Structure 1
């Protein structure tokens, strides 16, 4: 009986109890066949997968423990064993003359997976172009290791965007999962970086009180921030729509006569992955704000014009404007998205139909009621948006007379 067969483990606790000895040794996973831990005299623990292919014994070095947990090592072992069963070596082919660049593989993944699963791939493309390709694009797909992946993810974390870093990690994991399915890589290096070490989601409950609404918008509208950004942040509160839907607003979708704003594609539903169209019933104040923005935009197709003709403003434009205005106040931190929660909270407190509020938020109703309740609540939503705009302007209009009088009187 070999030494490796004498020492078994099946839990993380048992692995932690494996100490360095005078000689290097290996321990065997009692659950996953062929999975071993190599323990050096300095206490370094590395995962190995031993297998037989074409009558020859081979060994694949997977990664280190605890960087790679027992659960993750077993998953990589299972994926590698699947390749071995098909007669394919899970080890990288070092004799390959050519290897696909990550950027080229990314375009394949975009066309074969993302565009088929998501009606609007905008955010995914943005993530690839801004966060992933600049750092991994020119590296061969099968040569990308854990350190390469870690650099990409931690770049976002170091910028202070932990949630975005976790989104980058999620996209990379799915990309390497598909690459394994195609046999392009032997294992998924992203599995060595657990989500729990990147970002821990905290349920948000932040919303602005009545006094905070008055103070924030008085400060914002009297600041030197570009006027369209101010109006955009005001529209966010008045209409309850998401920031992504606001910045991509087009004039062709706004009907002043019918007092309707059609949003053909909204953020994809988390359950189905599909986008839904949405209708915003515009109040008098919202209409006048759009007319003001129309004067500024001129012949441009987008309501909020980007730096180049024919484009809309960047993803962070409203964030930057919001933070700039917030820094001029003593109001506790909040995000642009919290304006949706602010509106929802106040409307519920004021006794409006909760289903109509959810419809304005474009939320999908869950359970049995979601199956049978297909009402659009047009009448309730139209009246609610009118009263909501009246309420907000009763708070912010008088302190901002000069701002509103710079264009057609809104009131």
Structure 2
């Protein structure tokens, strides 16, 4: 006759000490307590289904789950086993029920999938969910969302003049439902049923500012009423050829004014590769003035809101541009990079060096063996481009851009 387990008591449980290897102590009816080498204690339920030993199910940690609560859970699962039903499937069904609505599941998806992604990516995803997805679909059961619901949501977004946001929303929902399918929470992906091109097309922008327009934009910047640091930020964006977030989130520790270099770490770059910016004379003068304006902040462009030391938001520069009285049509900040590339190519500078200055990947053998990364050529390019921008600004009488000694 098999030996009967002695029921556990709280006193006995508290006396259990960790050992070199984890070990299990039985209660009754398949309930056992596993003592880990760290000292933590975990309730598990061991059972057979249709005469076959099954992997132990985890109930939870002691003392968060008391002895009495663990026994109640054991009894619930034992009742299922007695009827020939799987307690493991019951656990999975409970998880599905807990993550039933789009809103609740979206929170779980964000918590598991967004950590480790870039800050700009996380911000974009959260904004799309908060502004469009959750107000429209959040209260629906996850499995009840149909392609027609996603299409209606995308049509609503397009109706306000944002077709690309509509396409991005469809893509976010597709990724979210792929995640749900992989975990057995739903069987189909309503967003995947929608062909992307029927929502919107990812048209690449081709806007390049002419020489005249470069001068018009920059003169409008300095003639405006926006704060001086934002004027310097827009000027730096034009002459350094970096992306907006790479500038707004920059810290003084990345910049060596004496050496004339700015090293942007990989985690802040789009391609997850570190990037060095060679600072032109104009860029260094802008940074010297900015240093005095930023005070003791770690950031080049500290936020004026709140007491915490943090950078301005990525939308701040967009708002500054919208405040300008520009005669330049269809201009966005990212056009600075394309404009620089186009004019530098027309000046006859090497394409590979220009691509490196823009932090673009060079494919093929040149990219593999490019150890020096065209350092001297890039220094020359950055100074030539800053001089070019300055020449366009000087095409008309404007207030001095740099303080005179």
TM-score when scaled to structure 2? 0.68
Deviates more, 1:370-379 or 1:182-191: 370-379
Whether the 8 Å contact between 1:237 and 1:342 is mirrored in structure 2 is no
Whether the 8 Å contact between 2:269 and 2:275 is mirrored in structure 1 is no
Whether the 8 Å contact between 2:215 and 2:395 is mirrored in structure 1 is no
Partner of 2:258: 257
Aligned Cα root-mean-square deviation (Å): 3.1
Partner of 1:136: 134
Partner of 1:297: 294
Matches within 5 A, 1:8-47: none
Determine the C-alpha separation between the residues in 1 that align with 2:240 and 2:117.
Answer: 22
Is 1:355 matched up with 2:356?
Answer: no
Deviation string, structure 1 residues 269-319 (Cα, Å, up to 9, x no partner)? 3xxxxx111111111210111122222221222212222332222222222
Partner of 2:370: 373
Larger radius of gyration: 2
Unaligned runs of 5+ in 1: 1-88, 270-274
Q: 3-state SS of the aligned residue for 2:192?
A: helix
Matches within 5 A, 1:3-402: 98-102=98-102, 104-110=104-110, 112-115=112-115, 120-133=117-130, 135-136=133-134, 139=139, 142-143=142-143, 145-146=145-146, 149-150=150-151, 153-154=154-155, 156-265=157-266, 266-269=268-271, 275-306=272-303, 307-308=305-306, 309-325=308-324, 328-397=325-394, 399=396, 401-402=398-399
Equivalent pairs counted in the alignment come to: 309
Determine the C-alpha separation between the residues in 2 that align with 1:377 and 1:283.
Answer: 16
Determine the C-alpha separation between the residues in 1 that align with 2:158 and 2:141.
Answer: 23
Unaligned runs of 5+ in 2: 1-88
Change beyond 3 A, Cα 1:151–1:368: same
Determine the C-alpha separation between the residues in 2 that align with 1:94 and 1:250.
Answer: 47
Whether the 8 Å contact between 2:218 and 2:393 is mirrored in structure 1 is yes
Partner of 1:14: none
Whether the 8 Å contact between 1:249 and 1:303 is mirrored in structure 2 is yes
Deviation at 1:127, TM superposition (A): 2.7
Determine the C-alpha separation between the residues in 2 that align with 1:247 and 1:400.
Answer: 29
Whether the 8 Å contact between 2:163 and 2:200 is mirrored in structure 1 is yes
Q: 3-state SS of the aligned residue for 1:404?
A: coil
Deviation string, structure 1 residues 224-255 (Cα, Å, up to 9, x no partner)? 12222222221111011111211111112111
Whether the 8 Å contact between 2:282 and 2:386 is mirrored in structure 1 is yes
Determine the C-alpha separation between the residues in 2 that align with 1:179 and 1:315.
Answer: 31
TM-score when scaled to structure 1? 0.67
Is 1:409 matched up with 2:404?
Answer: yes
Whether the 8 Å contact between 2:114 and 2:122 is mirrored in structure 1 is no
Change beyond 3 A, Cα 1:255–1:95: closer
Determine the C-alpha separation between the residues in 2 that align with 1:101 and 1:388.
Answer: 53
Change beyond 3 A, Cα 1:229–1:157: farther
Whether the 8 Å contact between 1:136 and 1:148 is mirrored in structure 2 is no
Change beyond 3 A, Cα 1:230–1:155: farther
Change beyond 3 A, Cα 1:156–1:295: farther
